[in-house]
Structure 1
């Protein structure tokens, strides 16, 4: 291939001209190299040279196609029936029959796709089939059943069924724009072709996904090629496999951009409220948060210690013990021995995970415990103000604690802004304004200022907390005034508990 060459294929029988580009061959070859690199049956033919025509030859016996379909949808075919040992023409036909029928089963349109056309290396047929398989595999993350976080892309008044039926490409663009909307000033794309050509939108997207690893650089017009190369470099830092070249973006290749964006969404969606700004920075924030949660318990002393505690599972055990100590101050010797055994088991389990996963586990455990403590307020008669019209007491008492907490927040912030409503503990809390409105109401301190400056809002919130709720066992960390759903839930739960809902005062005023 020559660089960015568009190849013309002539079908002698039908006198039809077909075209394909080097970008397609590169993208599919690298996709296969990445996902099938560890398959023992393919060791002799992988990796495929993405800058050659090897791809068309190496799919010819059907083995590679069957393997690719199986990782796209495990169980779509019986891998034990793939003829992998030097198949003859009859066994090759069996493989290709299995590949084509399985491709149809997972949703590929296989009209005019036949064994013979694949064996004869018909480029447009092979690339057309590969494109469908790759799309199904990568865009599976946009399935709301598999990834509920995708619902965060739904419009405020949009019907769920309508949203669920949107084309996958449209959801990718929505996801892209979701992150661009947090850029100042907000930006937007309408397609995955010319709108991405100069790399600027990619630069802003990557920065939103990880500010530390992907700082915004090279925005000048004459830095286009360098900027595009930097986009590729950043994506690899986030864990995106080699699937696109800067030339593909420059030439507005829609398929290559879709594959690239789908990989980004898979490895770093940014929809779960977390932005991985580098392990050290996140660990420092976690140290601050955990020590504030444990008050003077001395959970951890610093980043080095917490890193080790996370690895060996002891941190999780310490968090569990915080609640146990509140319920039972005197623990018997036999119980302590059992706890030591449990600690060893916890350590063994959590050593299997990476640090990031164990951080999430630690925070989720704290969240679970905070919400559990709210159950004691469920029967509080003063909470009836949160009960919806027509809702029975029984129905109200069965509401999950997290949803009850959302009602409490909305109850207060809607006093000053009746149209304002939060629906989640992630994006709605991003810059701290919701916290300021909430504190405004529950403290009775009117006129609390709030703006778009996240750092200033954080300082003001911390000052109010120290003044009105000195016993509150939490702090506002930089990672909390962002989109971290778990940490925002924890803080609101503790704020509710510290203020005891602050519904009782209004009730007393009636008397």
Structure 2
């Protein structure tokens, strides 16, 4: 997919692809220009015929023989989104389908003028998922069950407890439970703290929280609540779809591929292969390419369920006896219910090809019944993502890069993600005319190398230390050298924020951060200090907790801080320190183990983020 003038989210692209494939009935890879109006309706953009014709005429030099390919469809959609008067011109023309509601008689419009619609299907799906996964949690007993047919979901997330719990459900131990304000009746101030904790914790696991604030969640702004919930749920559903957790995935390798090639596939691509593997085993002449148009008739789902279900579950192919698509979808979901997997989708979501909810449905099936027995004679290659790699990947994804980064070394090879990160560090530094956005099949490797060379050149312009690192190293996925560049991107971004808010004429460096920390600790009457980010005394987290207390008094409960006589107590302190840092508003990506082991790079980011928060607090007080 080529980069357009407007960055689209992963979910938006999924919906565009699904709409395109729905209209592309003959699977030619094109849709007729005359079908553009209907295709735009499928992505929630209803325009009168004359405006669609004008749009095509403005773009006619790129549309061959009255047909559009997927890139042209995406570019036209982006063109509409970037129109300055979009919110005014088309506000009253946004399509209202049965599965979409505009609540309260008005639309939820952002400051950019984009009209937001709230999908009732998603509200229902997420409410049911939360009910199922948090029903045993004692802290949620007064919030659950949520009535999925009402707006209860948006009321139940108001105090922040539910979102914190859901984050821990998706990625265990992300939030230290001791830092959540759990009282049955908590003040608005404490609710706000919970949401700040939730948002910064969500960011640390790779959620993009740009334009989502704590007050938005407290106010129950529905499109923002749904957007955050979907990201958290999706990360949880897809996080274990890898060779480490499911060795049987080797069965999905195609001829000539090796185990390492699975890392090049996104979880969505792996799930499509998984479905097709079971369809082949079922002996039917059917394969899918997406979770939109290809699953609408429920045939693939019916055979998949029949293949993966335990023999004594009673699951059958009875749905195939139904002639009506909706009735067949309902019958298929009844079969899924026999194995406890009727989640996320209703019959309407299947027959309309809701990509988001169908992806969640299939991911849940995989996690529950993968039905992949690895060959006994195969030698497995140990491929496990390191903590450092995970931290960088989560940071990138939280920045809203597109495409979503699933595997660091493969997903950076074309340079596109790296350029987006440079643009965040120093807006305007990337000359996009030098970037190859859409690759020629005959020159793809050469063009990717051009991008990677330019990425290294930009790093040198940003004063990165890139001795011995060339574009070829990024293209080949050299782990050591790629990590060296990525670390400097993350460090550069953090320091650029510090420099900007401090008003300093020269860049902030490690020494300045250390001096600030020691000065703040001394000013606050604390006995702790640090010599550098390699100081082994930092492993008990006391200096970090003292610093948090200096930035925001009375937030830290020192009765919960351990004496650190052993590793377990040090880890307990580190977990508490990181969650407390996030609770006061510091966007920390490091993990507790980084503190205990005193990993200088990650420790530096913690102090830098705390310094940034302190400067922000001071600036707010001055204003």
- State the TM-score, normalizing by the size of structure 2: 0.42
Deviation of 1:221 after TM superposition, in Å, equals 6.5
Aligned residue in 2 for 1:98: 197
Aligned residue in 2 for 1:249: 350
- Separation (CA, whole Å) in 1 of partners of 2:143 and 2:264: 39
Q: Deviations over 1:360-385 (max 9, x none)?
A: xxxxxxxxxxxxxxxxxxxxxxxxxx
Deviation of 1:224 after TM superposition, in Å, equals 2.5
Is the Cα contact below 8 Å between 1:56 and 1:126 reproduced in 2? yes
SS at the partner of 2:117? strand
Deviation of 1:13 after TM superposition, in Å, equals 4.3
SS at the partner of 1:186? coil
Aligned residue in 1 for 2:362: 261
Aligned residue in 1 for 2:214: 115
The equivalences for 1:470-485 within 5 A come to: none
- Separation (CA, whole Å) in 2 of partners of 1:221 and 1:39: 40
Aligned residue in 1 for 2:175: 77
- Separation (CA, whole Å) in 1 of partners of 2:342 and 2:378: 39
Aligned residue in 1 for 2:243: 144
Deviation of 1:241 after TM superposition, in Å, equals 4.8
| Greater RCO (Cα-Cα under 8 Å, separation 6 or more) | 2
Structure 1 alignment gaps of length 5 or more: 275-400, 405-511
Radius of gyration: which is bigger? 1
- Separation (CA, whole Å) in 2 of partners of 1:70 and 1:403: 35
Deviation of 1:32 after TM superposition, in Å, equals 0.4
Deviation of 1:240 after TM superposition, in Å, equals 1.3
Q: Deviations over 1:241-269 (max 9, x none)?
A: 54321121122111111111111111111
Of 17, 21, 30, the residue aligned with 2:115 is 17
Q: Deviations over 1:89-144 (max 9, x none)?
A: 22112111110111111111111121111112111111111111111111123122
Alignment: residue pair count: 278
Is the Cα contact below 8 Å between 2:306 and 2:315 reproduced in 1? yes
- Separation (CA, whole Å) in 1 of partners of 2:303 and 2:270: 18
Of 160, 163, 185, the residue aligned with 2:284 is 185
SS at the partner of 1:109? coil
The equivalences for 1:304-323 within 5 A come to: none
Aligned residue in 2 for 1:215: 316
Q: Please state if 1:4 is matched with 2:95.
A: no
Is the Cα contact below 8 Å between 1:198 and 1:224 reproduced in 2? yes
The equivalences for 1:196-215 within 5 A come to: 196-210=295-309, 213-215=314-316
- Separation (CA, whole Å) in 1 of partners of 2:160 and 2:114: 26
Structure 1 residues 47 and 194: CA distance shift in structure 2, 3 A: same
- Separation (CA, whole Å) in 2 of partners of 1:47 and 1:153: 39
Q: Please state if 1:235 is matched with 2:330.
A: no
- Separation (CA, whole Å) in 1 of partners of 2:332 and 2:347: 8
Deviation of 1:15 after TM superposition, in Å, equals 2.7
Structure 1 residues 172 and 9: CA distance shift in structure 2, 3 A: farther
Deviation of 1:72 after TM superposition, in Å, equals 1.1
Structure 1 residues 225 and 77: CA distance shift in structure 2, 3 A: same
Of 130, 138, 147, the residue aligned with 1:32 is 130
Structure 2 alignment gaps of length 5 or more: 1-95, 380-623
Q: Deviations over 1:408-465 (max 9, x none)?
A: xxxxxxxxxxxxxxxxxxxxxxxxxxxxxxxxxxxxxxxxxxxxxxxxxxxxxxxxxx
Aligned residue in 2 for 1:156: 255
- Separation (CA, whole Å) in 2 of partners of 1:199 and 1:170: 19
- Separation (CA, whole Å) in 2 of partners of 1:123 and 1:95: 18
Structure 1 residues 403 and 88: CA distance shift in structure 2, 3 A: closer
- Separation (CA, whole Å) in 1 of partners of 2:342 and 2:352: 20
- Separation (CA, whole Å) in 1 of partners of 2:114 and 2:290: 29
Deviation of 1:40 after TM superposition, in Å, equals 0.9
Structure 1 residues 83 and 131: CA distance shift in structure 2, 3 A: same
Structure 1 residues 151 and 87: CA distance shift in structure 2, 3 A: farther
